[in-house]
Amino acid sequence: MAKASGLGRLAGRAAIITGGARGIGKAICEAYAAEGAAVWVADLHGGEAEDLAEALRETGAEAGGGYCDVRSFDNVRDVVDAAAEAFGHLDILVGNAATLTPAATIEDLEESDWTQALAVNLTGAFHLCKHGLPHLKRNGGGSIILTASQMGRVGNAGSAAYCTTKGALIQLAKTMALDHADDNIRVNTLSPGGTATERLFGRYGSPEGAEKGWGQTMHPLGRLGRPEEMAKGAVFLASEESSFMTGADLLLDGGYSAR
């Protein structure tokens, strides 16, 4: 893991990342810490979140973290408040948690799977924004990043619930960008294409299966993205480098949706 830099692009900032213990969220936590941010890892897998925070502290970063269930209004409030109190301020919110949804048409999808997809992927982002905004405003502004997907722009057979949540996140970010521009708060989405994480390894049986079955076949660049490549986008959106960007969707999909 890279050493935390006091001169990095996020030096002096404090961030909370939901779904931060694994996959893309974990890469974002590591990249933010390396760029000098204080990082709060919030995840349903609380033990893994604590372990990652400990590993980040060993690189010299300021970090904390633990259990968070983004489906819970009260729990997210408590976690956001704890992060702000630990760091003294909060500048960056990354709503990244998402659940796995079975592949099914609407005819076959269980109501509970539909409800779960909306509760985690979409309402979870609402909870983070709802409770995080007052902290950002108090601090004179900040940056909100919601992890959407290329599936927020295109349809995907058998993924109606997932695609619906991701399209909605893009609209949520656009509207919040308008509502909070005067507060000096920028709101954008980051839309990965297929990325090499457990989410896809589980669906295709192995990392190799995911590369062959999804990366090579569906992405003009001929492979899956790497979590670190998505984290670079998240650093850009959190930093001054994107100072004139709000209400936008940063698409990092290896050309998936260019067809």
Ligand X SMILES: NC(=O)c1ccc[n+]([C@@H]2O[C@H](COP(=O)([O-])OP(=O)(O)OC[C@H]3O[C@@H](n4cnc5c(N)ncnc54)[C@H](O)[C@@H]3O)[C@@H](O)[C@H]2O)c1
Q: Which residues bind ligand X (CB under 6 A)?
A: 18-19, 21-25, 43-45, 68-71, 96-99, 120, 147, 149, 192, 194-195, 197-200
Give CA–CA dist 219/244, Å, rounded.
29
| Min separation Cβ 71 and ligand X, Å | 5
Crossing angle of the two packed helices 160-180 and 124-138, in degrees rounded to 10: 20
For ligand X, which is the closer residue by CB, 244 or 259? 259
- Catalytic residue chosen out of the listed positions 67, 162, 204, 256: 162
For ligand X, which is the closer residue by CB, 143 or 195? 195
Give CA–CA dist 186/171, Å, rounded.
14
Ranked by CB distance to ligand X, the top (closest) residue is: 23
| Min separation Cβ 28 and ligand X, Å | 9
Residues 6+ apart with CB under 8 A from 70: 18, 19, 42, 44, 76, 95, 97, 120, 123, 124, 125, 127, 128
67 is catalytic: no
For ligand X, which is the closer residue by CB, 130 or 137? 130
| Min separation Cβ 259 and ligand X, Å | 17
| Min separation Cβ 106 and ligand X, Å | 19
- Would you list the DSSP string of 79-144? HHHHHHHHHS---EEEE--------B-TTTS-HHHHHHHIIIIIIHHHHHHHHHHHHHHHTT-EEE
For ligand X, which is the closer residue by CB, 60 or 255? 255
Give CA–CA dist 117/112, Å, rounded.
9
What are the catalytic residues? 162
